[in-house]
Each structure stands twice: as C-alpha cells, then as structure tokens.
C-alpha cells in the first residue's frame, strides 16, 4: 500500500477539524459555552502514582544494597581465605622446607651419590624385616629379611652387611630429622 501524500494528509486533517467543529457547535447549542470543553474525565491519582514510583525506587535501592552486601561478604570471605592460606604457607610450609633443606645439606660432599637417589625406594626394592629377635646386648637384630622380587612375590633371604649399614644410616637420618624439627630458636644475647 502506497503511503499518502502531503495533499491527502492535509485534506484528512481538514476533514477531522470540520467534524470536530460540527460536534462542538451541536454541543454548544445544547449546553451553552461549556459544551466546547473536553468531557469531564477523572484526573489521574497523582499521590498514588508518586507513591508507586517512590516505592519502586526504594525497593530497587534495597535490592542493590543487598546485592552489594552479599558481594562484599563474599569478597571478605575470599580475602580471609587467602590470608589464612598465606599464614599456613608462612608457618608450616616454609618451616618444613627449611628443615628439609638442612637435612639435605647434612652430607658434606656435593658429589655424594646418595643425594641423587630417590627418597624412598620403589615398592619392589624395599626390604621388609620379619619379626625381629633380640640380640646379645638387648638390641633387636634381624638376620633375615623379606624382599619383593621382580616376579612380584616375597622372598626370604639373609640380610647383607651393606643392607644393614644402609638401614642404620637411614635410621640415623630419621633421628637427625626429628632433632632438627624440635629445635627452638633462641635470640643471641650480644650481637656486638
């Protein structure tokens, strides 16, 4: 459908004005000069509208404050969690690494082959002693040990002197670690 031209629009507007003038004249002949006034409709309730708008604005503000409070609480909880994890790292992880560094530096030689060995041997190389028997001086000595073989079964064989020495060295290292962890640091009396 083609849009109306300017001439058509002016003609339609003139017709609408003439119709309204005829109606106004008819009303004026019946009711006098008040017939020209627009019909008496109720005015909008301005108090109701103002209260509705104020209430909507207030509820939006309350919703925004609740959301901001929730987000602030979440941020504070996250910051507290980060602070606690930092405290844990400072207290425990640094302390444990210091003692581990001291334990690793027990050997004097840098070319010590035991430094390059893994901390624990793989499961199939571990020596598991059977129930020990008391020795001559009261210490427990086991002359045989149980070993995992490559075929994944246990084998009972006598303990060699080398294994016994390595076990004693391992125990002494463990004792040294325990001693290092229980050290108390005392401040120096006179630094000068």
At 126-163, the pLDDT tens digits run: 555 554 554 444 444 556 666 666 666 666 667 677 77
Any domain includes 162:
yes
What are the two backbone dihedrals, phi and then psi, of residue 101, each rounded to the nearest 5 degrees? -65, -40
Any domain includes 54:
yes
1 vs 5, higher pLDDT: 5
Q: Are residues 172 and 130 in the same domain?
A: yes
In the numeric block, which tokens belong to residue 164? 């016994």
Any domain includes 191:
no
Tell me what pLDDT residue 74 has: 93
Q: Which domain holds residue 89?
A: 48-95
CB 139 within 8 A of CB 156: no
In the numeric block, which tokens belong to residue 48? 């109701």
Q: What is the pLDDT of residues 2-56, one digit of tens each?
A: 566 778 888 889 999 899 888 888 888 887 766 666 666 777 788 888 888 888 9
- Cα–Cα dist 86/96, whole Å: 15
Number of domains in the chain: 2
Chain centroid to CA 91: how far?
Answer: 21
Rounded percentage of the chain residues whose pLDDT exceeds 90: 12
Any domain includes 56:
yes
Any domain includes 32:
no
pLDDT at 125 over 50: yes
In the numeric block, which tokens belong to residue 180? 């290092």
In terms of DSSP H, where are the helices of the chain? Answer: 6-31, 46-88, 94-104, 113-116, 161-181
Evaluate the CA torsion angle 18, 24, 25, 26 in order and state its sign.
positive
Any domain includes 103:
no
């Amino acid at each position: 459908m083609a849009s109306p031209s300017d001439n058509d629009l002016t003609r339609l507007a003139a017709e609408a004005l003439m119709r309204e003038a005829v109606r106004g004249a008819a009303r004026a002949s019946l009711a006098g000069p008040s017939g020209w006034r627009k019909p008496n409709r109720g005015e909008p309730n301005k108090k109701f509208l103002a209260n509705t708008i104020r209430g909507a604005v207030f509820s939006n503000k309350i919703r925004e404050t609740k959301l901001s409070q929730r987000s602030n609480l979440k941020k504070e909880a996250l910051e507290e969690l980060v602070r606690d994890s930092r405290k844990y790292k400072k207290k425990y992880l640094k302390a444990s690494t210091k003692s581990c560094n001291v334990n690793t530096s027990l050997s004097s030689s840098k070319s010590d082959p035991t430094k390059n060995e893994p901390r624990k041997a793989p499961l199939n190389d571990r020596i598991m002693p059977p129930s020990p028997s008391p020795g001559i001086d009261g210490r427990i000595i086991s002359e045989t040990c149980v070993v995992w073989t490559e075929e994944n079964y246990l084998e009972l064989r006598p303990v060699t002197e080398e294994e016994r020495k390595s076990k004693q060295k391992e125990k002494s290292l463990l004792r040294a670690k325990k001693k290092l962890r229980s050290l108390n640091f005392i401040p120096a009396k006179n630094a000068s």
